[in-house]
Chains A and B, each alone.
Chain A
């Protein structure tokens, strides 16, 4: 299967936890079609999970009727390593990026690890306020192995 570079796929889900594994499965399948190695695929999948969980819990406050738009795009251009771009847009409450931080890892308690995991696994993370309300989160992951060279 040949994945065309610089062409995105789009998914829209609701802010319900049951939609998270569906979105994750789609993105994992996309990565495999790009021949991304299993380790990198797992890191991308987990980062997506954590970002979606944060949107559901914080941007929408657990409300089940919020829209989450997901864009997945392989970025391929001369001179740059193949990269996967994940872009998540919500229309919920905008959370100040300065307040989005992980808990101290030595303070062992439930919660507060999602942001740390995303920063560990993704190469670049950017939050910006979206026009019309909500937040756009863009995450970039450089692909090792044969990823993206379809």
Chain B
């Protein structure tokens, strides 16, 4: 029997020195947010100096995706690892604004600016 096809929301993790840049791709919703969260926390386990989550290829995210990012933020704060979000598309930016999480997360226009911080 074929296994269920799982989306892999995290396309790549690259390292700029001690900084981890996590490239996310596709829509983040209940169908993939569990895996999204696990993969984000795996990056934190590698003890980076900072984590930048590149959301420029994410056209849609729901509250389960946001929950994954909040979980990462909570764990990262305990480990004193800054988390930065970059390249939010309009729909995703709007979601962060109406939930007031744009005041909680560090958000940058793109990865370059996030890494320059």
Interface residues of A (CB under 8 A from B): 17-18, 20-21, 24, 38-39, 42-43, 45-46, 49-50, 52-53, 56, 105-106, 108-111, 113-114, 116-117, 120-121
Is B101 a contact partner of A50 (Cβ separation < 8 A)? no
Is A108 a contact partner of B70 (Cβ separation < 8 A)? yes
B71 to A, closest residue via Cβ: A110
CB distance from A105 to the nearest CB of B (A): 5
Is A17 a contact partner of B67 (Cβ separation < 8 A)? no
Say if the beta carbon of B60 comes within 8 Å of chain A.
yes
Q: Contacts A46-B91, A113-B99, A120-B98; is A17 near B60 (CB within 8 Å)? A: no
Q: Contacts A46-B91, A108-B70; is A113 near B29 (CB within 8 Å)? A: no
Is A105 a contact partner of B99 (Cβ separation < 8 A)? yes
Which residues on A sit within 8 Å (CB–CB) of B4? Answer: 18
Q: Contacts A105-B100, A114-B63; is A46 near B95 (CB within 8 Å)? A: yes
Interface majority SS (helix, strand, loop, mixed), chain B? helix
Cα–Cα, bound, A42→B91 (Å): 6
Cα–Cα, bound, A110→B71 (Å): 6
Which residues on A sit within 8 Å (CB–CB) of B30? Answer: 17, 20, 49, 52-53, 56
16 contacts between A and B (CB under 8 A): A18-B4, A20-B30, A21-B29, A24-B29, A24-B60, A42-B94, A46-B91, A49-B29, A50-B63, A105-B99, A105-B100, A108-B70, A110-B70, A113-B63, A117-B62, A117-B95
Q: Contacts A17-B29, A21-B29, A39-B90; is A111 near B98 (CB within 8 Å)? A: no
Q: Which of A20, A43, A117 contacts B29 (CB 8 A)?
A: A20
B69 to A, closest residue via Cβ: A110
1/0 contact string of B57-97 vs chain A (CB within 8 Å): 00010111011101100100000000000000011001100
